[in-house]
Amino acid sequence: MIDTTVDVINKLGLHARASGKLIEVTTKFRSSIQIGKGDKLVDAKNIMSLLMLGAGKGTTLRLVIDGADAEKAEEEIKSLFAAKFYEAD
C-alpha cells in the first residue's frame, strides 16, 4: 500500500476538467485509489467525489493506493499533477 501526498499546483485547482483528466488516469488501474485531505478520503475514480473536495491551488492532498499496480498508478498520478493537468498557465 502506498500512502503519499501530491500538491495541487495548477492555477484552477482540481476543477471539472482537471478532475476528468485524473479520472482518465485512475480508471486505468485495478488498484483502489483514494485521495483527499487528511482522513477525509474519497474514491479517486468518482468525479463527483473529486469535485466535492474543493481542492484549489496550493492544496496538499493525501493519496492512498492499494493493489498490484499501485506503483505505476502513483507514478502516473504524480506526473499528471506535476504537469499541471496539461493546462496552459
Domains of the chain with bracketed CATH: 2-84 (3.30.1340.10)
Query: Could you tell me the pTM of the whole model?
Result: 0.94
Instruction: Tell me what pLDDT residue 88 has.
Output: 78
Residue 89 pLDDT > 80: no
Mean pLDDT throughout 62-80? 98
Catalytic residue among 2, 12, 13, 15: 15
Distance of CA 70 to the CA centre of its chain: 13
E-strand spans in the chain? 2-7, 32-37, 40-43, 60-66
Q: In sequence order, what are the residues at sequence separation of 6 or more whose Cβ sits closer than 8 angstroms to the Cβ of residue 65?
A: 1, 2, 29, 31, 32, 33, 34, 73, 74, 77
Residue 15 designated active-site: yes
Q: Which of 19, 1, 20 is nearest to 67 (CA)?
A: 1
What percent of the chain is predicted at pLDDT more than 70? 99
pLDDT digits (tens, 9 = 90+) for 18-45: 999 999 999 999 999 999 998 999 999 9
Look over the chain and give the mean of its residue pLDDT values, rounded to a whole number: 96
| Residue 68 backbone dihedrals phi, psi, to 5 degrees | -65, -35
